[in-house]
């Protein structure tokens, strides 16, 4: 069986994004096989999520980061298809509101972290505080540089309070991004996904890659690792993310609560 895995970064060594091939698919070259394997991983996630929800002792936070067109929405849709929505939440973070700006930078993220028993997905996340604000110079360098340690401290608090953290960087090439942006222009049904601002961000590609690389290298810990996922091939991306989530849930080993005693003697009345 093929063994698709992302590049796990846990702080023991640093990575260079330019050395990771976004076209990588390991030993897996067959889309049909990938789809069959994905179904197996979805089934594992669904079964383990039911146990997690019933146990209500721990939570799972999944962070998804990528450049524009990197596939965050598609990953969520494909990987979590069939998951009980009662036990799963997805939060996207855009420009902060006036209320959010009135609090510390982590307030809006912290209030959406997973309650025990839940899986929560951050579609973009607290890492925007060292990504977009850095690249677009929204705050002074002295401000965003100190945020790496703040992020590590924030995640450490979550881990100590029974939240497991998985962080995925969906790694696509600049050429692949061009194709995906063009596909949005060519299809009127996808025009809503396109913004002229996307081209301004694309012009800052190298700056974003450096910012992503620094965030990954400076905020990777054994208990809050980054997984760099070669993501030019959507079918491979989905399988890597799904398998990583399923394996992580398995290690969390959630258990159904102990049933009440004497249930075997109960007869349901007519």
Task: CATH number of the domain at 23, please.
Answer: 3.40.50.300
- The residues, ordered by sequence, that sit 6+ positions from 80 with a Cβ below 8 Å of its Cβ are 42, 45, 88, 119, 121
Rounded Cα distance between 42 and 97, Å, is: 35
At 265 the pLDDT is 81
Whether 101 is covered by a domain: the verdict is: yes
Quick one: tokens of 17? 């994004």
Residue with token string 């997984």: 227
Whether 196 is covered by a domain: the verdict is: yes
Whether 161 is covered by a domain: the verdict is: yes
How many domains, the chain? Answer: 1
Full-model pTM: 0.94
Rounded Cα distance between 213 and 134, Å, is: 13
Rounded Cα distance between 114 and 80, Å, is: 16
At 94 the pLDDT is 86
Rounded Cα distance between 20 and 217, Å, is: 14
At 73 the pLDDT is 96
Enclosing domain of residue 136:
7-254
Whether 265 is covered by a domain: the verdict is: no
Assign 3-class secondary structure to 242-257: HHHHHHHHHHHCCCCC
- The residues, ordered by sequence, that sit 6+ positions from 252 with a Cβ below 8 Å of its Cβ are 48, 52, 58, 60, 164
Whether 260 is covered by a domain: the verdict is: no
Rounded Cα distance between 225 and 230, Å, is: 16
The residue ranges of DSSP E strands in 103-184, in sequence order, are 119-123, 163-171
Quick one: tokens of 195? 């913004």
Rounded Cα distance between 156 and 165, Å, is: 10
Whether 249 is covered by a domain: the verdict is: yes
Whether 267 is covered by a domain: the verdict is: no
> What is the distance of C-alpha 245 from the center of its chain?
10
- Name the stretches of the chain with pLDDT < 50: 1
The sheet with strand 163-171 has its strands ordered as: 7-9, 226-230, 163-171, 59-66, 119-123, 88-92
Whether 194 is covered by a domain: the verdict is: yes
At 1 the pLDDT is 41
């Amino acid at each position: 069986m093929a063994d698709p895995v992302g590049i796990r970064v846990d702080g023991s060594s640093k990575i260079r994004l330019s050395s990771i091939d976004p076209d990588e698919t390991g030993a897996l070259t067959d889309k049909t096989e990938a789809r069959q394997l994905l179904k197996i991983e979805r089934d594992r996630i669904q079964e383990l999520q039911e146990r997690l929800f019933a146990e209500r002792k721990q939570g799972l936070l999944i962070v998804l980061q990528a450049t524009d067109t990197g596939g965050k929405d598609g990953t969520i849709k494909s990987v979590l298809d069939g998951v009980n929505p009662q036990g799963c939440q997805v939060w996207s973070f855009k420009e902060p509101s006036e209320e959010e700006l009135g609090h510390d930078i982590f307030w809006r993220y912290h209030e959406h972290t997973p309650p025990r028993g839940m899986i929560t997905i951050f579609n973009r996340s607290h890492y925007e505080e060292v990504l977009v604000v850095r690249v677009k110079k929204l705050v002074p360098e002295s401000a965003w540089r100190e945020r790496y340690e703040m992020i590590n401290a924030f995640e450490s608090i979550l881990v100590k309070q029974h939240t497991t953290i998985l962080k995925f960087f969906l790694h696509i090439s600049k050429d692949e991004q061009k194709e995906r942006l063009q596909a949005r222009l060519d299809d009127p049904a996808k025009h809503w996904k396109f913004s002229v601002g996307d081209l301004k961000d694309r012009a800052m590609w190298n700056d974003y890659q450096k910012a992503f690389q620094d965030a990954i290298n400076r905020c990777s810990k054994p208990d809050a690792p980054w997984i760099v996922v070669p993501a030019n091939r959507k079918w491979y991306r989905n399988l890597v993310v799904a398998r990583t989530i399923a394996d992580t849930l398995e290690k969390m080993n959630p258990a159904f609560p102990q049933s009440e005693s004497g249930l075997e003697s109960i007869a349901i009345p007519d």
